[in-house]
Amino acid sequence: MTGGHKITIEQGSVRVRAVHDGQVLAETTRPLVLRETGCPVRYYIPPEDVRTDLLTPSDTTTHCPFKGDAAYWSLPGAPDLVWGYAAPKAEVAAIKDHLCFYETQVVDA
């Protein structure tokens, strides 16, 4: 990473849950924990642990110079709630196809 910008990814073992309006959208005990300079800790969740059937692909895309191009998914009334990288940069290849939510909770097992 350049200019003091750093990203680390490690395999987590905490239970992470994403809930919106009382509905559990994702729950896992195997998140990837991504720490990035100047950003909050993010949990990238394996797609098998996400209720992808509830999500609708969005037209939104964003570009991160460190991670690559992100695609987004929405819920009714909650646009662009979830994002992921189908083809992340090599330095962060571990997050490929994992999904990240703006709001997650770390819960006790």
User: Mean pLDDT of all residues in the chain?
Assistant: 93
Confidence of residue 1 (pLDDT cuts 50, 70, 90): very low
User: For the segment 20-73, what is each residue's pLDDT rounded down to a tens digit?
Assistant: 999 999 999 999 999 999 999 999 999 999 999 999 999 999 999 999 999 999
Percent of the chain with pLDDT over 90: 86
Cβ 51 vs Cβ 73: under 8 Å: no
Report pLDDT for 105: 84
- The domain spans of the chain are 7-107
Q: How far out from the chain centre does Cα 86 lie?
A: 12
According to CATH, the topology of domain 7-107 is 2.170.150
Question: In the predicted model, is pLDDT for residue 84 greater than 50?
Answer: yes
